Amino acid sequence: MAHSWSECLEFCDRKSKLCIDLERDSKSVEHYYARCVAVATDYNLNPPHPNDFGGNVLSCIKRLCSKTWWRKAIKTMRSSVMENTARDLRLVSKNSGAYASNIGVNNRAREILQNRYILENTFATNQHGQTFSLQELSDKSISNPEIRKAELMTRLNGFETVAKSYRHRAEFYTVTTPSRMHAVLSNGQPNPKFDGTTPKEANTYLAHIFKLIRSKLAREEIRVYGFRVSEPHHDGTPHWHYLLYMHPSDRKTVRKIFRHYSLKDNPDEAGARTHRFKFVEIDESKGSATGYIAKYISKNIGGEDLETDLYGEDAAYDADRAGAWSSIHGIRQFQQIGGPPVGVWRELRRMKCPKGSGLEEAWIAADSADWAAYVMVTGGPTLPRADRNISLYHEHRTAINPQTGEIPRSHFSRYGDLKKPPLRGLIVKATGEKVISRTLNWKIENFSPSIGIHSGHGPPRAGPHCALPLDSCQ
């Protein structure tokens, strides 16, 4: 029986209260935690573990007693279960709706609408009296799809420029999963070999394969750099594309390693050696290396520069479906491989660098949006990140009130565990020089009317199938 979201909220409230009540006859903190965990695992939820919070059992208990924790966990599970059930019923395929189910896509569109309304009506004010809506701030960050795509293309083109200067060669690889992980065949018929693997589990499998590949490349002292794109087959099963640059003499070895690990699972099944791993040796005289992966970037962000996808559908429409697929299953679509960290690049672009600073060369490159120059002045494309001279600076908040001997409450989360040290700027490792880039203190002012499904004019109203109502926070 399907339940409305309002019924799910009532369920979450009951379970959080149940966990609170379990304290009465618990014999110890550990016993109390174990009983709360049992409540969560009864519904196939992953309870918080003390190891993730510095060994703080009490913070885990507080989470399990929180309406907010339950609502977030149930929302995530509900979305995933609904989508995986739709996929099992062949409602995710090129015949019924590629990449994600129509229900999942519509729910994601509603969620985006609701989130935008929240951001437009929540304001941040700094110590200088400047006030912006969170939507205005979001539109200026990589949360904006246009900015995200532009940055990805800048980094792709930069890597290609660097590769040319080193005379490195580009290779384009595609790694797919075994057939047992596909729910629907390419002809739209159910796959008799399908074993129930979810897209998230299939993506974890591909991540494990790449982990093995990277370890083998490291043992062979082969360093590659480039990008990886995760995208769905028509039935939602992911596959990974790689654009990698390497020394020309390493190409055959890298291909061999990729092929070996791609065929670790059921290598003798029909078509495995043909489809599980494919490679293209890119001939730059016939086209840009970046062009081989740019279409996959466009396909997953906005659909611009493409008229139709592989199945003849509108590219912009399918980009929305691919975005829904990524969100529902929690799959990271793009990943940089090798090269300097993009976090440092982004921090350089938002700061004013003092003259004579050890950051000056890198800042000039970043401020000019020149990824190639940034790569070169920070150590080249293959230098391990741990050996790079510039890194993010996080302020460690260990200050104790000298009068009370206590750490300020602001250093703790609502659940009682220490917050992560805040990012303040950049540090030059060789000299210890710190450049602070984050000097503004923001105060959030919430405006939170109830919202949900709506049509017509005015703010959305609470509805029976609301994906994430504004009043869902405790």
pLDDT of residue 319: 87
By mean pLDDT, which of 45-49, 83-87, 399-403 is the weakest? 399-403
pLDDT of residue 363: 96
More confident residue, 210 or 414: 210
Domain ranges of the chain: 5-89, 97-141+443-474, 145-337, 342-440
More confident residue, 210 or 143: 210
Rounded Cα–Cα distance for residues 333 and 321 (Å): 13
Model confidence pLDDT, tens digit, residues 228-237? 999 999 999 9
Residue 396 has pLDDT above 90, yes or no: no
Rounded Cα–Cα distance for residues 211 and 238 (Å): 17
Rounded Cα–Cα distance for residues 277 and 263 (Å): 8
Q: Provide DSSP, 356-423.
A: T-TTHHHHHHHHTT-HHHHHHHTT-SSS-GGG-SEEEEE-------TTT----GGGB-TTSSBPPPPE
Residue 74 has pLDDT above 60, yes or no: yes
Q: Which of 99, 117, 225, 296 is catalytic?
A: 296
Q: Is 467 exposed, middle or buried (0-12, 13-18, 19+ CB in 10 A)?
A: buried
Where residue 329 falls among pLDDT bands split at 50, 70, 90?
very high
User: Residue range 11-35: average pLDDT?
Assistant: 96
pLDDT of residue 6: 87
pLDDT of residue 395: 86
Type of residue found at 51: N
Rounded Cα–Cα distance for residues 366 and 48 (Å): 39
β-partners of residue 228 are: 242, 335
pLDDT of residue 424: 94
Where residue 453 falls among pLDDT bands split at 50, 70, 90?
very low
Sign of CA dihedral 151, 152, 153, 159: positive
Model confidence pLDDT, tens digit, residues 98-122? 999 999 999 999 999 999 999 999 9
Active site residue 261: no
pLDDT of residue 287: 79
Q: Which of 166, 205, 292, 317 is catalytic?
A: 292
pLDDT of residue 332: 94
Type of residue found at 14: R
pTM more than 0.85: yes
Token pair belonging to 406: 């206590």
Active site residue 117: no
Residue 351, C-beta contacts closer than 8 angstroms, at least 6 positions apart: 363, 425, 426, 435, 437
Residue 83 has pLDDT above 90, yes or no: yes
By mean pLDDT, which of 56-65, 289-298, 314-323 is the weakest? 314-323
Residue 280, C-beta contacts closer than 8 angstroms, at least 6 positions apart: 171, 172, 173, 292
Does 3.30.70.1910 match the CATH number of domain 145-337? yes
Containing 110, the helix (H) or strand (E) segment is helix 102-120
Where residue 299 falls among pLDDT bands split at 50, 70, 90?
confident
Q: Phi/psi class of residue 409: alpha, beta or left (left: φ > 0; alpha: ψ in -120 to 50)? A: alpha
The DSSP 8-state label assigned to residue 353 in this structure reads P
